[in-house]
Amino acid sequence: MEIIRVQNLSKDYKIAKPRKGAYGVIRDMVKREWEYSTALNNVSFSIDEGEIVGYIGPNGAGKSTTLKIISGVLYPTSGDVRVDGIVPYRNKKENASKIALIAGQRSNLYWDLPVIDSFNLMKTIYKIPKTVYDDNMDKFCDILGIGPLLKMPVRQLSLGQRMRADFAVALLHNPRIVYLDEPTIGLDVVAKDSIRDFIKQVNKERKTTIMLTSHDIADIERVCNKVIVLDKGSIIFSGEISKLKQEYGSKYCVMNVSFEDRHPELYLQGMKITENNGIYSIHFDRSHHSPSSVLSMLLEKGLKIVDFTLTESSLEDTIKEIYSTNKDNYEERLLVNN
């Protein structure tokens, strides 16, 4: 069942345009000039209840702007958003009871107060029944190990401890939807893993719908079943991670070859070739060439192959390629680079 629906969402930010020179500064003080910058352009997607969706894109793609709109913080310029049947920025109070927004770079905890005070405040603000509160506190102390942190002032917590407390406080009111903005940023590998496991556990046990943005592709690979890729304010891919790999990743692969003559002149039409320490990396499109046909081409050139390996693109490589180009000119770029 669909729980988030975004249709033709656009957002233009209004930015002050400074005039030049001393006279311009004085004119700005009397009357400002404005220009508009488009952060989102006709974005549409939907998310079903219980899904964990990665919302990814390069810097400035519009991820945070989308999260701010669908979590009710910001109004769009145009378009329609429904979250569990309501328009989040028009029904902020009702929306707040259904969602949680956790950002790795910002905290929902009160900096100078002991952690427990933020929990008590949350209990009051969200009118959380005692049984739900006690039950959740028991669970979070157990799974996230936040028990020993409760009496400590937030400012004394390490980043990993603070993130665990942030997750616990944000989930106290049993939100149906959780938005995560860079949830593992700055954490060490062990802390990242425990946060990822926790996200999966919450999703599995409570059927919580989760939408997460992250620049760490391992977050997406380990946690999400679906991914939406945004670039310059528009969606360029939406679907299962396996489909993303199928459509983009497995299409391109790299053959690393070393030859008896360590540095032959090598040119193969339609393929990008790089060389490092006598190992030639031949990038080719699997829909045009098979690994055996590439090997045949090398042998036809009279080259003696000493060793070769074949590498499929990792999800990280695939996404890097998608960010630096897009589906329509990916192939063209491979040829131009040749």
Ligand X SMILES: Nc1ncnc2c1ncn2[C@@H]1O[C@H](COP(=O)(O)OP(=O)(O)OP(=O)(O)O)[C@@H](O)[C@H]1O
- Report the interface residues with ligand X, using CB under 6 A: 13, 15, 37, 39, 57, 59-65
Please identify, using beta-carbon distances, which residue of 4 and 122 lies nearer to ligand X: 4
Task: Tell how strand 209-213 and strand 52-56 pair up.
Answer: parallel
The encoded tokens of residue 3 equal 């729980």
Q: Least distance from C-beta 336 to ligand X, angstroms?
A: 27
Please enumerate in sequence order all residues whose Cβ is within 8 A of that of 208, keeping only pairs 6 or more positions apart, or say none.
50, 175, 176, 177, 178, 202
Q: Least distance from C-beta 212 to ligand X, angstroms?
A: 12
Please identify, using beta-carbon distances, which residue of 11 and 173 lies nearer to ligand X: 11
Q: Least distance from C-beta 26 to ligand X, angstroms?
A: 24
The encoded tokens of residue 299 equal 């042998």
User: Cα angle vertex 197, ends 153, 45, to 5°?
Assistant: 100
Please identify, using beta-carbon distances, which residue of 99 and 228 lies nearer to ligand X: 228
Burial class of residue 156 in the structure, from the number of CB atoms within 10 Å of its CB (0-12 exposed, 13-18 middle, 19+ buried): exposed
Please enumerate in sequence order all residues whose Cβ is within 8 A of that of 48, keeping only pairs 6 or more positions apart, or say none.
1, 2, 3, 209
Burial class of residue 319 in the structure, from the number of CB atoms within 10 Å of its CB (0-12 exposed, 13-18 middle, 19+ buried): buried
Please identify, using beta-carbon distances, which residue of 10 and 108 lies nearer to ligand X: 10
Please identify, using beta-carbon distances, which residue of 18 and 145 lies nearer to ligand X: 18
Distance (Å, whole) CA 237 – CA 313: 17
Please identify, using beta-carbon distances, which residue of 228 and 294 lies nearer to ligand X: 228
Q: Least distance from C-beta 28 to ligand X, angstroms?
A: 17
Q: Least distance from C-beta 76 to ligand X, angstroms?
A: 12
| Residue 56 bridge partners (DSSP) | 229
Q: Least distance from C-beta 16 to ligand X, angstroms?
A: 10
